Structure 1
Amino acid sequence: MAELKQLHGLMITSSVIRHIIPVSKLIDFCVDPKAGDFHYARSVFNQIALPSVYIWNSMIRGYTNSDTPVEALIMYRKMLQTGFSPDNFTFPFVLKTCSVTGDRDCGRSVHNYIVKTGFESDVYASTALLHMYACCGDMEVGLQVFDDIPKWNVVAWTSLISGLVNNNRESEAIKAFSDMESWGVQPNEITMVNVLVACARTRDIETGKWVHNCLARLGHDPFMSSNKFNIILATAVVDMYAKCGSLETARNLFNEMPQRNLVVWNSLISAYNLHGRAEESVNLFVDMQIAGFVPDQASFLGVIGACASLGVSALGQCLHAYILKTSMSKDLAVGTSLVDMYAKTGDLESARKIFEILRKKDIKAWTSMILGLALHGQGAEALGTFKSMQEDATVVPDHITYVGVLVACSHVGLVDEGWRHFNEMRDVYHIVPNQDHYGCMVDLLSRAGRFEEAMRLVEEMPFKPNITIWGAILNGCEIHENVNLAEKIRAQITELKPQGSGVYVLLSNIYARAGRWQEVKLARELM
């Protein structure tokens, strides 16, 4: 920068400063995000009597890519106020700033100006508008903008697909990719990454394989030695296979990668646990550190989840001790995950300690504590914790929270309170009960011997009862020795053909208590 300032001085003394082209180059260097100086750039800009549109664009672009992007909007407004007319290169920079700052109102204002000045048919301006609306969560307007683009090039298609993925409309993103192929537009690597993300989220392995084949056909497959290795694309491929449950393929491709990043390690750690291979998840976490990678939040969340799945409290304690030595010890998400892990492994004392020191308790933290207490027989404390949560106006219970609450009511035998919470969930928080909620209520009513209410609730359910719900009623039948109802339910159970033997054990016990040994024999034969 010192040399640039010397050059600036020389330009002043030699009168070159009056010429627009060298001044434009000077501004370009000054706004470079890596080596520039924005204060100096602004000083140079203020000395220019009549800056060209190119210079205005340079200043706006520089601020857009800086730590103070809002300054780009200020420059844009100043440009309009001083009578300068933006061109088709101005709008993408300004709209990018709106995207970064989430300023949808400003974006709409720019959109109106684009229409007013006749730039809506410009592909650069239109694509930037699409990206802005997608980033601001207004995808419907973004789709209208896309439809109005006169010629859909790869940038427009990629912006559309990326916007759909970022707005959790993955199926539409996959459909758009298929349409893109039909229109004869060849996707680039950024397009492919976004489609692979969509396939991973929807667990669409067949489409994922098709996209992987497209990579090979178009010469983008990062695992082919003839192609330049793209670690971002390779990570997306591995992540897609991993999330879709094709762990062997994911691991084989992972092993082929000439270089790896933390993201791909985290992807596999999480996927192994997600698909019931928690021990391998923990082993990968260790291997990752041996390879020289420092765990981040995602790493710890993945391995903490694996420890919770394994149900080994000692392993979780070792991991917790390690976390305390890192910067992640104060991370809210990691702390919440530790609460969940200890609660699931039955170490309620440790769960309570971490829960109490969390600087901010979100719904996940409260729910983990409530559910952990409820599932380990501490129903009264779980309900007390839920009451404390309701006193925090910033936290709203979700469907999982109410599973914990209803389990707690069932274990304590509070039928009326269970009904109150069940109705509150629907009427106050507008949560549609699922089979877990109905199952909890049926269990609560059956444990209390209120079989008529339980059966009426089963009949009112908007779906067919599963084996868990029939098992809950059978459990109540065993407690209250209701052989007649158990007899009626047996036909329903036989029709479902359950895989486990739990319900048949309950049936056998019920018949045994009634001295009906022939039925006991039949029930045991079905196990």
Structure 2
Amino acid sequence: MISGYHRAGRYQENIVMWNAMLNGLVRNEQQEEAIQMFWYMMRLGLEADEFTFVSVLGACAHLDSHCLGRQVQCVTIKNYMAASLLVANATLDMHSKFGAIDDAKTLFNLIPYKDSVSWNTLTAGLVHNGEEEEVICMLRLMNADGIAPDEVSFATVVNACSSIRATETGKQIHCLAIKYSICSNHAVGSSLIDLYSKHGDLESCRKVLAQVDASSIVPVNALIAGLVQHNRNDEALQLFQQVLRDGFKPSSFTFSSILSGCTGLLSLIVGKQAHCYALKSGLLNDDSSLGVSLIRIYLKSKMPEDADKLLTEMPDHKNLLEWTAIISGYAQNGYSSQSLLSFWRMRSYDVHSDEATFASILKACSEMTALNDGKEIHGLIIKSGFNSYETSTSALIDMYSKCGDITSSFEAFKQLENKQGIMLWNSMIVGFAKNGYADEVLLLFQKMQKSQIKPDEVTFLGVLIACAHAGLISVGRHYFDYMNKVCGLVPRVDHYACFIDLLGRGGLLEEAEEVINQLPFRPDGVIWATYLAACRMHKDEERGKVAAKKLAELEPENSSTYVLLSSLHAAAGNFGEAKIAREAMRENGVTKFPGCSSVTVGNKTSLFLVQDKKHPDSLSIYEKLDNLTGMLKNDDDIEDYDMLTSAEMFG
């Protein structure tokens, strides 16, 4: 259009028209087009004014292009516009948003006659760049410079106090805000509510809300979020209901806050109401945070169809936050195959993943042992540059380990240069442990200590698993004691379960029993199930009966109690007792959920249940299985065939 006007000789050197077009492009988030227009203006020889530079500097700030912004700053100097207060403030804002806070401070000190915008821009930049301590003294410096702080000044400084938990200083700022009669401002009020809620002073929050202008939902949102943060969910829900009665229109943040405070059936009820309201009011079009909250609720409530339908209702199919919510939600709630399908669907919309997306989808691959998909995603991670990030690399290590490809797992570990995060070491240690590489676990643990990385509870869990699987009883004892006595870490239930497993596998059932009797807490189902499995391994029926009884009392609907006890009796040759255990399971109405396994052939992953008859190839599969069963019966190395097959009755 502009080129057309130029060719027709109608472009006229009217800078007002050009500025209007520039401003329109920036306001409509067409930053690249605005910058192209600016350079076109320069080529035409038009003389830009201060409003031109304000618009184009704002465009540079939004594009996150510091190099381009510096070029425009040079043009302002060349055109003698850098001294303009409007241009100086816009340049100050640009440097702050780029994180070049030292440049912003230098420029600020060079401005001879600062206004409140100058001060507020630098203050906001300091908060944005994590220099809250310096922000707190800004109000005093403003006053010394003859500039009266306004609502923006107070809101920014209070936010800084809130970020660093400087509650007492925040209270002093509150008193000053009262003196300036601006506590009724919703931005100041919201900041004060956030400050007090983080300190747990919810009564002061309510007092602040009572003084704030009642025309805005923002301060109410801050109080609802504060109540939810401190688990006062009933009060948050009551306030939400009051908001509706008073005729306020809740925002997406209102719903997101209240939904995070609801649990179980209540979250689903409120979620469905929020979903209906969002569809009627168009909230889903304005902000993705509500959609993300609703997706998570539907998936936690085991309603994947509703979550998927909600995703299709959202207008922006290129919103990474929404896609990550559904991919991670599926993966976390047992819908791994849907998670994988959603990931490839997201890719079809040309949406680029971030570290959180990759970590979530790799979890799904781990659960499905979908090695081929995992390798393909590994390629995307390398292509995207996230292979240098700890979270995505840890997820890769975990995926390869669970798929049994420990070589690729260790390669991913070695290729990350910066190994300062404990999560990375833990992933590799646990991966080695669960794949039976005890020596590698112990070597890696020593290397980790030499690298000055402090082990945590997960680290020791991996070490204990490795020792248990390898039968390294004395080494396992050493590290169990080392964890508590040297590292000061209190063993959890899972650590004790691993230690009992270590002793049990080694045949030290009496010592394992003593450990259980001396536990600093009441033994749970995990402890007794571990001990029962050890009794089965060593055919100790008496101790096994005691463990099974304890486990049945704690978890009466747990089928593994009866399965393990029956297998124990069968292993000891006591088939009468094995039959009694199976009958007790039926009489108590306990159902064993069928086991599920998967196998990938080529690019196709097939899922199987126990005694599955619905698979299209089930006839040929069972024919092959019968052949293998016959071979097992004739194999002299299989000493305990009856124990291996007794579980079939539970399928």
Alignment TM-score, normalising by the size of structure 2: 0.65
Q: Residue in 2 aligned with 1:460?
A: 518
Q: Residue in 2 aligned with 1:519?
A: 577
Q: Residue in 1 aligned with 2:77?
A: none
Provide structure 2 residue ranges, at least 5 long, that are not aligned to the other structure. 1-18, 20-46, 54-83, 97-103, 586-649
Contact 1:371 1:401 in 2 (8 A): yes
Q: 2:279 aligns with which of 223, 229, 244?
A: 223
Contact 1:375 1:407 in 2 (8 A): yes
Q: 2:257 aligns with which of 195, 202, 207?
A: 195
Q: Residue in 1 aligned with 2:358?
A: 300
One-letter amino acid matched to 1:241: Y
**Other structure's SS at 1:58 match:** helix
Q: Residue in 1 aligned with 2:629?
A: none
User: 2:241 matched to 1:181?
Assistant: yes
How big is each residue's C-alpha offset from its partner over 1:107-132, in whole Å with a ceiling of 9 and x where there is no partner?
Answer: 75464254267449824444323435
Contact 2:88 2:111 in 1 (8 A): no
CA distance in 2, matches of 1:87, 1:358: 49
**Other structure's SS at 1:259 match:** coil
Contact 2:267 2:297 in 1 (8 A): no
CA distance in 2, matches of 1:375, 1:443: 14
Q: Residue in 2 aligned with 1:413?
A: 471
Q: Residue in 1 aligned with 2:634?
A: none
Residue correspondence of structure 1 range 126-525 to structure 2 within 5 A? 126-132=189-195, 139-140=198-199, 143=202, 145-149=204-208, 150-151=210-211, 153=214, 154-163=217-226, 169=229, 171-172=231-232, 175-182=235-242, 186=248, 188-195=250-257, 198-199=260-261, 204-210=264-270, 212-213=272-273, 216=276, 221-224=277-280, 229-232=285-288, 233-260=290-317, 261-361=319-419, 362-398=421-457, 400-427=458-485, 431-461=489-519, 464-495=522-553, 496-497=555-556, 499-501=558-560, 503-525=561-583
CA distance in 2, matches of 1:395, 1:33: 45
CA distance in 2, matches of 1:159, 1:262: 26
Cα offset for 1:384?
A: 2.8
Q: Which has the higher contact order (CA 8 A, sep 6+)?
A: 1
One-letter amino acid matched to 1:356: K
Cα offset for 1:491?
A: 3.3
Contact 2:251 2:283 in 1 (8 A): no
Q: Are residues 498 and 407 of structure 1, via their aligned partners in 2, closer, same or farther at CA, if it must alter by over 3 Å? A: farther
For structure 1, which segment, 278-287 or 114-123, has the greater mean C-alpha deviation from structure 2 after superposition? Answer: 114-123
Q: Are residues 517 and 337 of structure 1, via their aligned partners in 2, closer, same or farther at CA, if it must alter by over 3 Å? A: closer
Contact 1:127 1:156 in 2 (8 A): yes
Contact 2:161 2:170 in 1 (8 A): no
Q: How many residues end up aligned between the 2 structures? A: 486
Contact 1:192 1:211 in 2 (8 A): no
CA distance in 1, matches of 2:267, 2:51: 58
Q: Are residues 300 and 203 of structure 1, via their aligned partners in 2, closer, same or farther at CA, if it must alter by over 3 Å? A: farther
Q: Max radius of gyration: which structure?
A: 2
Contact 1:162 1:173 in 2 (8 A): no
Q: Residue in 1 aligned with 2:10?
A: none
Q: 2:149 aligns with which of 70, 86, 90?
A: 86
Contact 1:174 1:195 in 2 (8 A): no
Cα offset for 1:317?
A: 1.7
Contact 2:221 2:253 in 1 (8 A): yes
CA distance in 1, matches of 2:249, 2:485: 48
For structure 1, which segment, 74-83 or 351-360, has the greater mean C-alpha deviation from structure 2 after superposition? Answer: 74-83
Contact 1:60 1:94 in 2 (8 A): no
For structure 1, which segment, 339-348 or 202-211, has the greater mean C-alpha deviation from structure 2 after superposition? Answer: 202-211
CA distance in 1, matches of 2:531, 2:479: 20
CA distance in 1, matches of 2:513, 2:295: 48
CA distance in 2, matches of 1:246, 1:34: 49
Q: Residue in 2 aligned with 1:20?
A: none
Q: Cα RMSD between the aligned structures?
A: 3.8
Provide structure 1 residue ranges, at least 5 long, that are not aligned to the other structure. 9-25
Cα offset for 1:278?
A: 0.8
Cα offset for 1:286?
A: 0.6
CA distance in 2, matches of 1:423, 1:178: 50
How big is each residue's C-alpha offset from its partner over 1:180-202, in whole Å with a ceiling of 9 and x where there is no partner?
Answer: 53476636315424415624xx7
How big is each residue's C-alpha offset from its partner over 1:62-89, in whole Å with a ceiling of 9 and x where there is no partner?
Answer: 2244487658667544323346553555
Q: Are residues 403 and 119 of structure 1, via their aligned partners in 2, closer, same or farther at CA, if it must alter by over 3 Å? A: farther
Cα offset for 1:275?
A: 1.4
**Other structure's SS at 2:149 match:** coil
Q: Residue in 1 aligned with 2:590?
A: none
Cα offset for 1:438?
A: 2.4
Q: Residue in 1 aligned with 2:60?
A: none
Contact 1:161 1:191 in 2 (8 A): no
Q: Are residues 325 and 477 of structure 1, via their aligned partners in 2, closer, same or farther at CA, if it must alter by over 3 Å? A: same
CA distance in 2, matches of 1:133, 1:468: 42
How big is each residue's C-alpha offset from its partner over 1:335-361, in whole Å with a ceiling of 9 and x where there is no partner?
Answer: 111011111212111111111222233
CA distance in 1, matches of 2:282, 2:372: 48
One-letter amino acid matched to 1:471: A
**Other structure's SS at 2:459 match:** helix
Cα offset for 1:334?
A: 0.8
One-letter amino acid matched to 2:307: A
Contact 1:196 1:240 in 2 (8 A): no
Cα offset for 1:458?
A: 2.3
Residue correspondence of structure 1 range 8-27 to structure 2 within 5 A? 27=85
Contact 1:410 1:443 in 2 (8 A): yes
CA distance in 1, matches of 2:153, 2:196: 17
**Other structure's SS at 2:327 match:** helix
CA distance in 2, matches of 1:197, 1:65: 30
**Other structure's SS at 1:229 match:** helix
CA distance in 2, matches of 1:508, 1:114: 70
Q: Are residues 465 and 63 of structure 1, via their aligned partners in 2, closer, same or farther at CA, if it must alter by over 3 Å? A: same
